[in-house]
């Protein structure tokens, strides 16, 4: 199930800046239960308990005690609880807890606990809780796949677990027929083995076919692996282990000619996979099939139990079939040939059915129910477009109607069993409601009061000009080799008159260009010094040579265990420049909005604290063992300003990811149709 967080222990500032996901910790107690224990000013505090915070709201004194705080912290998941270890952590949590409870009281004052949209989302969540529980009971809990079931499935689907004939080769592929013939002659003359040739050519990046990156080892493959190169496949499977092609194999792929020499290393004959090899895969498949069958069996039981009657003749088309749309267009062209009867039929089709029109009727616990056109249309309109496409035509509308009616029957069954209304479920719903209230409160009292003016944008931009400097850039035509002598030889050809762009194109097409621009005929595109910072000598030359100049010698670059040799010409260089405000306006707007939102939040919170006379008694906290590796007080003091600045930067970065609470909440509501658990979804975008 969704992991719910007590809304009153959320850091409100982070909610305000869109930096936290509301589903952030566990809770099994509603806030009203906790509030009731503290709301009466005359309620005595246990002798062993300590008052840590108090505030007054609407004439009622609210208190936070040590035991209440510790109880909440104990409910947090481990990774969150660790954030509040030690005295400093407890002080932070106490402040957040007090401010969040105060904010929730303000939300109640605004009537957000009775907000129709919030209550609708809560009911959607209740429906999901009920569906999850009853489907666990009636479907998942009744699916029991035995070893005998798995074995029976295996025997009935033996053909699905038959491995085809496979071979493994050592292969050399080039694009020059004379080169391929020369390699085959070397092998036949015993000058070099195929293994030696394949290893050397793969290391040089010249082996451009199967196994080219693995010293020519193709690995095992079946005839179906390369259906588009039949000549190669037939030759490979016509051989026996140890055989070498007696002639170069020529093939054409996508208009490119390739020439291959290879040896068959191993052959695996077709064989039946054993049950042990495929047991896990079969079990998953059987479980899925069994669950689907149980779902339909249970759905039919519910239909019969409810005496469901569907008025198929009344069900309208919600999404027209593609063919129907085309036919309509064609009919429009016939114009004069249309009969009065046709016109009447079209007119009837355009009439929207009455929302109260009952499309299906059933009885549950002697109470009659009807599913109306209005309900079906509202549900369909709320679906994403891609999901609407599943329900085209009359048959699609009937499918959607059946799904929704069966879902309603499942909810009625769940309600009869007490799901959705138990003490635990009600606590979850209360906590979820409070979370939504916090969201709405922040949007109404913080977001709704934030304005970003042109003057704000200009001021922020001018104060952060260094953030909007565009680095110097260079663009090259580059060819990269793995052999120093080859690189030097090609450079001599360029100096003698060969255009490096022509050389780069040729090398790239042959798969021999191993560096920047290899996939663009040597054109690196514009890049900055940071782009290739792992190759500083290359970068230095790229940003030092004048435009139009060639490297005087190959540039050697060492990357991990590989060495490359690069020659290039500088084609273009752009100096560092200051970006204009209009170029970075969206970034500046987001940053400025965050600053203004933070300022508005702090102002709003200060007003609440003052009005409520909030008092936090952090000095009453007991001593706590400090977390391992905790900084000393001196360390904390000396790094305080740095930590604060770092926190602000992190906040700004994260808040980019999480604006728009309502959009996420709406999305969650849509997702609820599939009854997925809230725990994998977020009501905001952390």
State pLDDT tens for residues 521-558: 999 999 999 999 889 999 999 999 999 999 999 999 98
Q: Is the pLDDT of residue 63 over 90?
A: yes
Split at pLDDT 50, 70, 90, the class of 648 is very low
Percentage of residues in the chain having pLDDT higher than 90 = 67
Q: Are 598 and 644 in contact (CB under 8 A)?
A: no
> What's the pLDDT band for 626 if we cut at 50, 70, 90?
confident
Measure the CA–CA gap between 274 and 282, rounded to whole angstroms: 12
State the pLDDT at residue 598.
92
Alpha helices in 142-274 (DSSP H): 147-156, 177-189, 194-203, 230-238
d(CA 572, CA 527) in angstroms, rounded, equals 10
Mean pLDDT lowest among 71-80, 140-149, 651-660:
651-660
> Residue 426 region, left (φ>0) first, then alpha (ψ -120 to 50), else beta?
alpha
Question: Is the model more confident about 648 or about 221?
Answer: 221
Query: Residue 330: is its pLDDT beyond 50?
Result: no
Q: Which residues pair with 267 in a beta bridge?
A: 167
The tokens describing 204, both together, are 């040089």
Per-domain residue ranges of the chain: 165-269, 472-575
**CA gap 147, 81 in Å, rounded:** 43
Task: Read off the tokens for 582.
Answer: 């209009």
What is the pLDDT averaged over residues 350-366?
A: 92
Query: Is 50 exceeded by the pLDDT of residue 632?
Result: no
Which of the residue ranges 37-51, 237-251, 566-580 would you say has the lowest mean pLDDT? 37-51
Q: What count of other Cβ atoms lies within 10 Å of the Cβ of residue 545?
A: 18
Cα distances from 512 to residues 111, 201, 256, in angstroms, run 70, 10, 15
Distance of CA 384 to the CA centre of its chain: 18
Q: Please name every residue paired with 473 in a beta bridge, in sequence order, or none if there are none.
A: 574
Tokens (6 digits) for 12: 């409100």
Assign 676 a pLDDT band (cuts: 50, 70, 90): very low
Q: What's the pLDDT score for residue 559?
A: 84
Using only the alpha carbons of the chain, give its radius of gyration.
Answer: 36
- The pLDDT score that the predictor gives to residue 561 is 81
pLDDT band at 323 (very low <50, low <70, confident <90, very high): low
* pLDDT tens, position by position, 96-145: 999 989 999 999 999 999 999 999 999 999 999 999 999 999 999 999 99
pLDDT tens digits for 381-407?
Answer: 999 999 999 999 999 999 999 999 999
pLDDT tops 80 at residue 685 = no
pLDDT for residue 204 is more than 50 = yes
The pLDDT, as a whole number, for residue 349 is 52
Mean pLDDT, to the nearest integer, of 258-286?
A: 95
Considering Cα of 266, then 272, then 274, then 278, what sign does the dihedral take?
positive
As a whole number, mean pLDDT of residues 442-469 equals 94
Apex 512 CA angle, 509 and 515, nearest 5: 105
Class of domain 472-575: alpha beta
More confident residue, 174 or 645: 174
User: Rounded to whole angstroms, how far apart are CA atoms 293 and 136?
Assistant: 15
Binning pLDDT at 50, 70 and 90, where does residue 45 land?
Answer: low
Confidence (pTM)? 0.62
Neighbours of 354 (CB within 10 A): 10
- What CATH class is the domain 165-269? alpha beta
Q: For residue 14, what pLDDT is reported?
A: 54
Give the pLDDT of residue 547: 95
pLDDT for the residue numbered 88: 93
Q: What is the mean pLDDT of the chain?
A: 83
- Fold agreement (165-269, 472-575): yes
Q: What is the mean pLDDT of residues 653-666?
A: 38
């Amino acid at each position: 199930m969704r992991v719910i967080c007590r809304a009153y222990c959320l850091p409100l500032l982070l909610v305000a800046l869109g930096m936290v996901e509301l589903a952030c910790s566990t809770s099994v107690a509603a806030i009203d239960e906790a509030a009731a224990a503290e709301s009466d000013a005359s309620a005595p505090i246990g002798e062993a308990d300590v008052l840590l915070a108090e505030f007054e709201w609407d004439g009622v004194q609210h208190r936070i005690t040590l035991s209440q705080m510790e109880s909440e912290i104990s409910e947090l998941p481990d990774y969150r609880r660790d954030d509040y270890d030690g005295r400093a952590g407890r002080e932070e949590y106490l402040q957040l807890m007090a401010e969040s409870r105060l904010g929730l009281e303000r939300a109640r004052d605004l009537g957000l606990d009775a907000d129709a949209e919030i209550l609708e989302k809560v009911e959607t969540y209740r429906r999901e809780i009920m569906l999850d529980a009853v489907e666990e009971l009636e479907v998942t809990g009744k699916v029991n796949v035995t070893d005998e079931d798995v074995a029976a499935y295996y025997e009935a689907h033996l053909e699905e677990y038959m491995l085809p004939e496979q071979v493994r080769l050592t292969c050399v592929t080039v694009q020059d027929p004379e080169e391929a013939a020369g390699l085959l002659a070397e092998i036949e003359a015993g000058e070099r083995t195929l293994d030696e040739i394949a290893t050397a050519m793969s290391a040089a990046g010249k082996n451009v076919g199967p196994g080219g990156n693995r010293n020519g080892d193709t690995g095992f493959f079946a005839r179906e692996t390369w259906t588009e190169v039949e000549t190669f496949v037939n030759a490979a499977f016509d051989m026996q282990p140890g055989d070498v092609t007696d002639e170069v194999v020529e093939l054409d792929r996508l208009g490119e000619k390739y020439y291959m020499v290879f040896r068959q290393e191993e052959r695996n004959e077709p064989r039946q996979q054993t049950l042990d090899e495929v047991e896990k895969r079969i079990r998953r498949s059987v479980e899925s099939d069994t669950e689907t069958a149980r779902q339909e069996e249970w759905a039919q039981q519910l239909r019969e139990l409810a005496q469901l009657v569907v008025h198929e003749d009344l069900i309208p088309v919600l999404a027209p079939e593609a063919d129907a749309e085309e036919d309509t267009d064609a009919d429009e062209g016939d114009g004069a040939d249309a009969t009065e009867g046709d016109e009447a039929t079209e007119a009837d089709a355009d009439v929207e059915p009455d929302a109260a029109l009952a499309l299906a009727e059933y009885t549950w616990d002697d109470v009659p129910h009807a599913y109306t056109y209005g309900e079906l249309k509202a549900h369909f309109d709320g679906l994403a477009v891609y999901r609407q496409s599943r329900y085209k035509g009359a048959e699609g509308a009937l499918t959607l109607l059946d799904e929704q009616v069966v879902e309603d029957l499942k909810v009625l069954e769940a309600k009869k069993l007490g799901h959705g209304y138990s003490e635990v479920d009600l606590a979850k719903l209360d906590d979820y409601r409070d979370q939504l209230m916090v969201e709405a409160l922040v949007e109404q009292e913080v977001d709704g009061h934030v304005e970003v003016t042109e003057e704000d944008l200009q001021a922020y931009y001018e104060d952060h000009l260094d953030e909007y400097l565009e680095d110097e850039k260079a663009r090259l035509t580059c060819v990269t080799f793995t052999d120093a002598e080859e690189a030097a030889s090609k450079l001599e050809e360029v100096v003698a008159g060969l255009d490096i762009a022509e050389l780069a194109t040729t090398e790239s097409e042959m798969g021999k260009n191993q560096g920047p621009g290899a996939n663009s005929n040597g054109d690196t595109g514009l890049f900055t010094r940071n782009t290739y910072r792992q190759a500083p000598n290359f970068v230095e030359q790229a940003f030092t040579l004048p435009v139009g100049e060639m490297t005087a010698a190959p540039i050697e670059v060492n990357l991990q265990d590989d060495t490359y040799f690069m020659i290039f010409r500088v084609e273009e260089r752009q100096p560092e420049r200051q970006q204009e405000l209009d170029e970075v306006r969206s970034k500046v707007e987001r940053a400025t909005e965050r600053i203004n939102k933070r300022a508005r939040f702090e102002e709003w919170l200060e007003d609440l604290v003052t009005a409520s006379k909030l008092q936090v008694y952090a000095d009453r906290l007991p001593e706590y063992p400090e977390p391992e590796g905790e900084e000393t007080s001196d360390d904390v003091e000396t790094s305080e300003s740095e930590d604060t600045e770092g926190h602000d930067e992190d906040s700004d970065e994260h808040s980019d990811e999480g604006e728009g609470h309502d959009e996420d909440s709406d999305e969650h509501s849509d997702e609820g149709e599939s009854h997925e658990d809230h725990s994998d979804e977020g009501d905001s975008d952390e």
